[in-house]
Amino acid sequence: MGYQTVYDRSMSDPAAFWADAARLIDWDTPWDQVLDSSNPPFYRWFSGATLNTCYNAVDRHVIAGRGDQAAIIHDSPVTDTKTVITYAQLQDQVARCAGILKSLGVTKGDRVIIYMPMVPEALVAMLGCARIGAIHSVVFGGFSSRELATRIDDAKPKVMIAGSCGIEPNRVVHYKPLLDAAIDLAAHKPANCVILQRPQEPGTLTPGRDLSWAEAMETAEPADCVPVAATDPLYILYTSGTTGQPKGVVRDNGGHAVAMAWSMKHVYDVAPGEVFWAASDVGWVVGHSYIVYAPLLLGCTSIVYEGKPVGTPDAGAFWRVIQEHRVSVLFTAPTAFRAIKRDDPSAEHLARYDLTGLRALFLAGERCDPDTLNWAQKILGVPVIDHWWQTETGWAIAANCLGIEQLPIKPGSPTRAVPGYDVQVLDDEGEPVKQGDIGRIMIKLPMPPGCLATLWGNDERFVQSYMSIQPGYYLTGDAGYMDEDGYIYVMSRIDDIINVAGHRLSTGGMEAVLASHPDVAECAVIGAADQLKGELPVGLVVFKSGVNRDKTLILKELVDLVRDQIGPVAAFKTVVVVDRLPKTRSGKILRGTMKAIADGKDYRLPATIDDPAILDEITAALSAIGYAKHD
Ligand code: COA
Ligand code: AMP
């Protein structure tokens, strides 16, 4: 069956389509309804059914004879270690981890926050939660204590599971002190913390609250899988919203399992037993979906890579991993390939490795520039597939579904809507735009299984953020267009979200931090184009009148403040002082115009601008720091 036939079937009879896909999953009890549409926009998949996600990702493969197959390969150039964990070993570890949680009083529906580097124990912890129906929330290690505290207060975890440290090529990340500081800052206090003591920097355990992972695992009573409702939450994953308060995306168990398993086969064209590598981090949605759940649900081997595309030790690192572990399909962000291309433009490292097992490269997380896609395709000689998705959907909205039919690749486009997604480009009035015109990219409800069920503890924000602008449609927050072949082009965000090295960040959140500095009267943060990371945040600040401290010192304080309050992941290193910010007559800061100036692009003078002369001042300030250059 070709793409069009499969897509049409998913649109004409979604219930039959997804009931068919659901055969990839083992259910404890069957559903009453495939799709419960009784309470829009809260659609529920497989209501009435029960299952256990961990059973499907681990135990059933052992029963089916995959016990000796590698489930996880941890490859860590930063610690110079490699570890293979078979499905049988994973089952034992996950059951013990679930046992630790049970012994700490964690039961179905309780939350557990996981704050860990790229180690297999992070996956064990996630699956351990799923095993007993606890809801995990993984927080990326590049976030600060304050960001972690915000998530603790929102999710109210009973237990935290953390690594004692993370290892970045240039430094050790002090996870344990960051964790302690976050718990101090948070109003909610988790009862216990389970700490994976890493030899590079063991943490100091707080008596009565903290346990050592290794000791607890040794004595833990293995726990069995607990059936949960398909509609029960599996996890919460926080992502940047348009305010400083992150959005807690809630994923269910049943729809998620079906979408993950189906996508492995039909989007990525991977079969059970094959090695799949998502070079991302478990703290991001890509990591949740394609390092942990999807590969394991299908019975594949998943690579957990603790390193970078360059510098650990060189730009051949990815090729080494692909060869050594016989990776069939690689998934990463375009930034990783831009970094490799920058260090090794003629791909000389490649000559040292045999990559004949690699069938395809998938890229996502940010817009993929055609240059990067063409370069990757040229050096690897396999299809390079740009695909578009977001934390909220949990899996691809648009892709070239290699497991169905490879469509022609058009660099710059993530191809066509994935079966299950009714993608439409609408104008401000909710009318479809003309073909080729840019508009809001929306998804007609219901969305397929696996997409967000709601925002944690905040149904109202879920409706208001995504469902209110055009009733009956989900607002992706991206703007773009569709061509005559139905190919989607995702061009920009319509909100204040920027994408730095494939990491999603809110400029509003950074502005709130800058504004909290006593010397700052006003500020704006824009995402300026960057050759390596796609975008980089640039701050523009107006000092309060009378401020006469050393300007360089204040600017350093501002950079430090963002690093301290949001985290190193914000990559906020550039801030300039200006006398005033350009605004409309109603007082709205013209961020889009400043971004166009920074990127050296032509822009139309906004009709409502208060004082056009300010734009010359902004141009001068940005060009003094290397921006605002026309090609
Ligand atoms: N824990 C703590 N700190 C982290 C971290 C983690 N897990 N991950 C990144 N950081 C830190 C980095 O050390 C860096 O700190 P620094 O300012 O002290 O140098 C900062 O956060 C910014 O990190 P990053 O934007 O990743 O930049 P980088 O220079 O370290 O690496 C790339 C650049 C391109 C090599 C890297 O971003 C990369 O591999 N990206 C592509 C893949 C990817 O993971 N995408 C995610 C979604 S698919
Ligand atoms: P995140 O939720 O962190 O995965 O970020 C999702 C956002 O990243 C999307 O809404 C897009 O703005 C952007 N994005 C992800 N993948 C792509 C892609 N293939 N092309 C263009 N933008 C993308």
For residue 400, tell me if it sits in a domain.
yes
Whole-angstrom distance, CA of residue 576 vs CA of residue 630: 20
For residue 486, how far is its CA from the centre of ligand 1 (angstroms)? 34
Quick one: 152 and 19 in the same domain?
A: yes
> What are the tokens at 240?
């940047």
Predicted local distance difference test score (pLDDT) of residue 51: 99
Quick one: 418 and 513 in the same domain?
A: no
At what angle are helices 145-155 and 551-565 packed, to 10 degrees? 30
What is the pLDDT of the chain when averaged over all its residues?
A: 97
Quick one: 426 and 562 in the same domain?
A: no
Q: What is the mean pLDDT of residues 380-388?
A: 98
DSSP per position, 187-215: SS--SEEEEE--TTSPPPPPTTTEEEHHH
497 CA: nearest ligand 2 atom: 12
Q: What is the pLDDT of residues 164-181, one digit of tens each?
A: 999 999 999 999 999 999
> What are the tokens at 482?
């569709």
For residue 333, tell me if it sits in a domain.
no
Decide which of 480, 510, 535 is a domain's last residue: 480
Domain interval for residue 26:
3-307+387-480
Quick one: 469 and 551 in the same domain?
A: no
Q: What is the pLDDT of residues 78-106, one digit of tens each?
A: 999 999 999 999 999 999 999 999 999 99
Which protein residue has the closest C-alpha to ligand 2 atom 4? 390
For residue 338, how far is its CA from the centre of ligand 1 (angstroms)? 14
For residue 39, tell me if it sits in a domain.
yes
Give me the residue label for tokens 């179905």.
Answer: 108
Give the model's confidence band at 605: pLDDT under 50 very low, under 70 low, under 90 confident, else very high. confident
**Portion of the chain with pLDDT greater than 70, in percent:** 100
Quick one: 440 and 568 in the same domain?
A: no
Decide which of 480, 514, 543 is a domain's last residue: 480
Which protein residue has the closest C-alpha to ligand 2 atom 19? 388
Q: What is the pLDDT of residues 514-541, one digit of tens each?
A: 999 999 999 999 999 999 999 999 999 9
Give the model's confidence band at 631: pLDDT under 50 very low, under 70 low, under 90 confident, else very high. low
Q: What is the pLDDT of residues 558-571, one digit of tens each?
A: 999 999 999 999 99
For residue 141, how far is its CA from the centre of ligand 1 (angstroms)? 10
387 CA: nearest ligand 2 atom: 19
CATH number of the structural domain spanning residue 406? 3.40.50.12780
Q: What is the pLDDT of residues 301-352, one digit of tens each?
A: 999 999 999 999 999 999 999 999 999 999 999 999 999 999 999 999 999 9
Predicted local distance difference test score (pLDDT) of residue 113: 98
For residue 254, tell me if it sits in a domain.
yes
Length of the chain: 631
Quick one: 15 and 131 in the same domain?
A: yes
Q: What is the pLDDT of residues 192-251, one digit of tens each?
A: 999 999 999 999 999 999 999 999 999 999 999 999 999 999 999 999 877 678 899 999
Ligand nearest to the CA of 391: 2
- For residues 486 and 552, is the Cβ–Cβ distance under 8 A? no
Predicted local distance difference test score (pLDDT) of residue 279: 98
Residues with CB under 6 A from ligand 1: 117, 141-142, 166, 168, 173, 280-281, 284, 286, 308-310, 332-333, 335-336, 339, 365, 500-503, 568-569, 571
User: Is pLDDT at 630 greater than 80 in this prediction?
Assistant: no
Predicted local distance difference test score (pLDDT) of residue 586: 85
Quick one: 66 and 185 in the same domain?
A: yes
Ligand nearest to the CA of 502: 1
Quick one: 195 and 160 in the same domain?
A: yes
* Number of domain units in the chain: 2
CATH number of the structural domain spanning residue 551? 3.30.300.30
Quick one: 517 and 467 in the same domain?
A: no
Strand positions, DSSP E, 373-494 = 384-386, 398-399, 416-417, 422-426, 439-444, 454-455, 473-482, 488-493
For residue 372, tell me if it sits in a domain.
no
Residues with CB under 6 A from ligand 2: 239, 285, 364-368, 386-391, 414, 476-478, 490, 493, 499, 504
User: Is pLDDT at 297 greater than 80 in this prediction?
Assistant: yes
CB atoms within 10 A of CB 239: 19
User: Is pLDDT at 587 greater than 90 in this prediction?
Assistant: no
Ligand nearest to the CA of 117: 1
Q: What is the pLDDT of residues 261-271, one digit of tens each?
A: 999 999 999 99
Among 290, 478, 503, 506, name the best residue to mutate to test ligand 2's pocket (greatest count of ligand atoms within 8 A of Cβ).
Answer: 478
Predicted local distance difference test score (pLDDT) of residue 515: 96
Quick one: 615 and 538 in the same domain?
A: yes
Quick one: 523 and 570 in the same domain?
A: yes
